Structure 1
Amino acid sequence: MSSTIDFSHFVSALGDAVIVCDAAGAITVWNPAATRIFGFTESDALGQSLDLIIPERQRQRHWDGYHKTMATGETRYGSDLLRVPALHKEGKSLSIAFTVAMLHAPDGAVSAIVAIVRDETLRWNEERAIKAKLAQLEAAAAAGTA
């Protein structure tokens, strides 16, 4: 049985953000989940730089890695999950996790990078609270045995 998939509908239906950027880093695809996570509408994002959602202190590192990936066609984040801070339109900090896939032109050069992004802010905050509580309990236990 053969079926055809409307990839535009598929990308729009996903619960994770799908962001595609061209070789220069301009956003060319921004699905509804990206709007839900980051607050920027598709029209806000299309044609813009990823600096839209990258905290200023992370930008140089991001662009160094981005340009290296575009030049070499290699990234370890195709299978390894990358967790980084990000920005919401309202200025609040987010914690996101994502993988990337590279799209190639007919000549084999990387023409675009696709990021599949999930908002992990709630999980990250809960994990941080658990770690703080554990450190508190360990300190109290150590003080009780001293």
Structure 2
Amino acid sequence: MQTAIDFEQLVGAVGDAIIISDAQGRITLWNPAAERMFGFTQSEAMGQSLDLIIPARLRGRHWDGYHKTMASGQTRYGNDVLRVPAVDKAGRSLSIAFTVALLHSPEHELTGIVAVIRDETSRFQEERNLRKRLAELEARVGA
């Protein structure tokens, strides 16, 4: 027998960051894992633009896609993991991986987007180091 799930407990307990933004891209949910990952407290993040964690050089591209998704009601990232750079409160670069889901009102109007985010900065750096080392070894063998 399944019991009802406590949404707040689930969002608070999960290890991945969960961020919900409204149709304009303002943050409406920021869980404890998002606080740990990005360094902003819930009170600092709530109501702020997603620009809080988007590197300045990527904001134009992000907002083009965001507004297109809100207008069309479709995203190509619902099932695919998207890997992009992000920034934390201290300005440190992160490599994040996330999926998104579209949120709708009871009237089926698109109201926002939820992203479930994992920090893959360490894994990304390890892969970069391995690729560099492999290239060095290949160059040595080919020489």
Taking only aligned residues, the RMSD between alpha carbons, in angstroms, comes to 0.7
1:20 aligns with 2:16: no
Match of 2:97 in 1: 97
Q: How do residues 111-122 of structure 1 correspond to structure 2 at under 5 angstroms? A: 111-122=111-122
Q: How do residues 124-135 of structure 1 correspond to structure 2 at under 5 angstroms? A: 124-135=124-135
What's the TM-score, normalizing by structure 1? 0.96
| Number of residue pairs aligned between Structure 1 and Structure 2 | 143
The one-letter amino acid paired with 2:76 is: R
Deviation, 1:107, is: 2.8
Structure 2 portions without partners, runs of 5+: none
Match of 1:68 in 2: 68
Q: Which has the larger radius of gyration?
A: 1
Per-residue Cα deviation, 1:36-57 (whole angstroms, up to 9, x for no partner):
1101110110000000000000
What's the TM-score, normalizing by structure 2? 0.98
Please give the alpha-carbon distance, in whole angstroms, between the structure 2 residues aligned to 1:5 and 1:14: 13
Please give the alpha-carbon distance, in whole angstroms, between the structure 1 residues aligned to 2:105 and 2:70: 12
Q: How do residues 3-82 of structure 1 correspond to structure 2 at under 5 angstroms? A: 3-82=3-82
Per-residue Cα deviation, 1:9-30 (whole angstroms, up to 9, x for no partner):
1101000000000000000000
Please give the alpha-carbon distance, in whole angstroms, between the structure 2 residues aligned to 1:108 and 1:72: 13
Structure 1 portions without partners, runs of 5+: none
The one-letter amino acid paired with 2:69 is: T
